Chain A
Amino acid sequence: MSVQELDFSRVDEIIKQTPNKKGALIPVLQKVQKFYGYVPIESIERIADGLHVYPADVYGVLTFYSQFKLKPRGEYIVRVCCGTACHVKGSDRIAEDLITKLKVAVGETTEDRRFTLEKVACVGACALAPVVIVNEDVHAKMTSDETRKMITSLQKGQKE
């Protein structure tokens, strides 16, 4: 979807559905991101207007929290957990492998917009470390081999 095609009416609707504007910036941004998959930079002024804050406040919050993304992300968001337990059990290697396999850096999306590779601080599934999360699904006790296989099958368009 290019910027021209983006319809920002949803942003206005989200703001309209937020009666209490006090402290609403983060929840509004979360809803915007949920709908668009990221927070389009063009939406910042609309959000600022709607919530009666400065665009700089919106931008400041957007860039402070790691959850918010300013760029469109892929169909599959592959997150490698880098919590302590995962680190001790070799999540670095899995991340390295994924960088090679997907040919993107951490935080980047493949050209075909199918995969985004991210690192996450900890998802709290430490007892089953190391874990890799694809969209909402947590995959436990992963190895480099299994991760590669999982990606290959996703690349082939099979259901995981």
Chain B
Amino acid sequence: MDKPRIIVGMATCGLAAGGKPVHEKAKEVAAQLGIDVEVRKTGCIGMCHREPLMDIIMPGRTRVCYSDVKAEDVPAILESHIKNGEVYKERLLGQFKPSSPDIQPYPDTQYYDELDYNKKQVKIVLKNCGFIDPTKIDEYTALGGYEGAKKALTAMTPEQIIDEVKKSGLRGRGGAGFPTGMKWQFCRNSPGNEKYIICNADEGDPGAFMDRSVIEGDPHAVLEGMLIGAFAIGATHGYIYCRAEYPLAVEHLNIAIEQAKEKGFLGTNIFGTGFDLDIIVKEGAGAFVCGEETALMNSIEGKRGMPNPRPPFPAQKGVWGKPSNINNVETWANVPQIITNGGDWYASFGTEKSKGTKVFALTGKINRTGLVEVPNGIPLSEIIYDIGGGIIGGKKFKAVQTGGPSGGCIPSSLVDTAVDYESLAALGSIVGSGGMVVMDEDTCMVDMARYFQAFCQDESCGKCTPCRVGTKRMLEILERIVAGKGREGDIELLLDLGSQVKITSLCGLGQTAPNPVITTIKYFRDEYEAHIKDKSCPSCSCPALIHFEVTPDACTKCGICVKNCPVSCITDGTGGKKGEKPAFILDEECVRCGVCFEKCPFDAIFKHSGGTRVDKVSAKVKKES
């Protein structure tokens, strides 16, 4: 590298945070300053809470990462870093460790890896995300890309590959956690000349975006993994089923496939071995159930994405009736490194039964949101507090939801639980695809259960009765509970229905749909009881059960609440210090929109439900952070 290089994070999150203007500004400013630089883009490095991110590499120096960069910061950063050779401290996040002894680090500059967010992470799947330009295959191969595939295809037999994957202990990262090596073996052993491999990139769990980031940031890792898997299984056709909500991921995949074909990593006679593989991207059309393997295959065939009963399993009779092997994005992305570094190396991370690392999407009411890759078995508390930096505004941590609509809520009392397949299953939740939504004291757990049930009910394909009708009835019960119309016995009814739906549904959607309800009842039964018996919401969150009131002494009669109330249910409260009476909210006309609560500049409005009272002060803290 002989020119300075500027790299801007431009995955979906980077773009949403404003990466594009930064990218444009960097080009513009470089031209103005008359400096010859290369301006590139990269994927998601996982620090979504600090986006937009901009890295600068000077020849012979370490890569430095700047965070929270706005277009107007760009001139100062470029001037200081590129022209004057000094790190611009105001937006500095950290520098990366030198990749060789010739690379000189900057003095008094923190290392990126030593930031609290990164210290406990182990990056295997996310190794390249945020480092390389995902639209340039050369950047992938420069870091050892396609070496694993070359080794597998030219120096290993399919059996040896499968043994290596078995030895690694890799388990399906899509949710169920089935051992990957065994799955490959089944498909390999299945009779038939025409076999298919499929990458499940239909990441439908709301609150999860690991697969999106991997595909957007490192699409070749997925292709390389599929190439290795296809060779081991004996498949010559591959599909990547990507959800339509991820346009950038689809774009990067298609670019990557074209480049891999040009380089001879896909197509015919790969690495001169006579092995052929073609991979095509199939775009989903918006149906959560298509994450289920048999439904996904129906969708690939152009049908309604409804699941089929198993057996026959896809390994026997999958897409187009042929033996098929389906793995999730993250599973595939692990494979090249398992082959390159060996199964034993991979198995050295994680626990006895859950090997390697897992990527989680850490979101919700947590200070540091983003993608984290941690060794399996790490205590949940380390993810929440050490990596995530605790709860926003210093509020109380209440629960964390893992596994999306198929998972459950883990209460704060169990925060020391090890995060691995077995431990989470023992609590009634699952690792799932890796969504981790953190909730604080203001989140109502009954409402969360209702939210997930509404999602599952909406996404139920309708093929089997328990799921189609069961989720609907459960939703109706939950809706009446949050509306303050819950009845004695509703909790028991939910548990009974939930267990029936679990046992009798056709596919994973229905079999896991009751999990959020069952776990919230298990750990937060008192909240359900408060809603049903006392008609109150202990988190002051369910609109039907809360009331807004004005503290007359704190009201300055500024009139802001009166002006903003959409239903004009606030009387008086105008005319400043001397005029009128303090504001008064007519409870029977109030629609509980909370606008007055948010707008009051003097913290004079509070909300209450049952015995709980929430004042504005804390709400303000929440907003600022």
Would B13 and A127 count as touching, CB distance under 8 A? yes
Would A122 and B285 count as touching, CB distance under 8 A? no
The stretch that binds B, out of A6-14, A23-31, A109-117, A150-158, is A23-31
Is B147 an interface position by the 8 A CB rule? no
**0 or 1 for each of B347-362: is its CB under 8 Å from A? (1 = yes):** 0000000000000011
**0 or 1 for each of B558-593: is its CB under 8 Å from A? (1 = yes):** 000000001000000000000000000000000001
Would B205 and A122 count as touching, CB distance under 8 A? yes
Number of A-B contacts (CB under 8 A): 148
For A68, what are the chain B residues with a Cβ–Cβ distance below 8 Å?
Answer: 285-286
Would B300 and A23 count as touching, CB distance under 8 A? yes
Find the B residue at minimum CB distance from A140.
B16
Would B245 and A23 count as touching, CB distance under 8 A? no
Is B207 an interface position by the 8 A CB rule? yes
Classify chain A: how many residues form its interface, as a range.
Answer: 35 or more
Q: A87-B451, A89-B365, A129-B363 are in contact. Are A123 and B12 (CB under 8 A)?
A: yes
Is A41 an interface position by the 8 A CB rule? no
Is B198 an interface position by the 8 A CB rule? no
Find the A residue at minimum CB distance from B300.
A23
For A64, what are the chain B residues with a Cβ–Cβ distance below 8 Å?
Answer: 287, 304-305, 461
Interface residues of B (CB under 8 A from A): 12-13, 15-18, 48-49, 51, 203-209, 212-213, 244-247, 282-288, 299-305, 320, 361-365, 369-371, 401, 404, 435, 437, 439, 443, 448, 451-452, 455, 459, 461, 566, 593-595
For B284, what are the chain A residues with a Cβ–Cβ distance below 8 Å?
Answer: 65, 67
For A86, what are the chain B residues with a Cβ–Cβ distance below 8 Å?
Answer: 206
Is A121 an interface position by the 8 A CB rule? yes
Would A121 and B206 count as touching, CB distance under 8 A? yes
Is A46 an interface position by the 8 A CB rule? no
A82 CA to B204 CA, complexed, in Å: 12
Is A66 an interface position by the 8 A CB rule? yes
**0 or 1 for each of A83-124: is its CB under 8 Å from B? (1 = yes):** 111111100010010001000000000000000000011111
A120 CA to B299 CA, complexed, in Å: 20
Q: A26-B299, A121-B204, A126-B361 are in contact. Are A65 and B439 (CB under 8 A)?
A: no
For A60, what are the chain B residues with a Cβ–Cβ distance below 8 Å?
Answer: 304
The minimal Cβ–Cβ distance linking B433 to chain A, given in whole angstroms, is: 11
B-facing residues in A10-69 (Cβ within 8 Å): 22-27, 29-30, 57, 60-61, 64-68
Would B439 and A88 count as touching, CB distance under 8 A? yes
Q: Which of A26, A96, A136 has the most CB of B within 10 A?
A: A26
The minimal Cβ–Cβ distance linking B464 to chain A, given in whole angstroms, is: 15
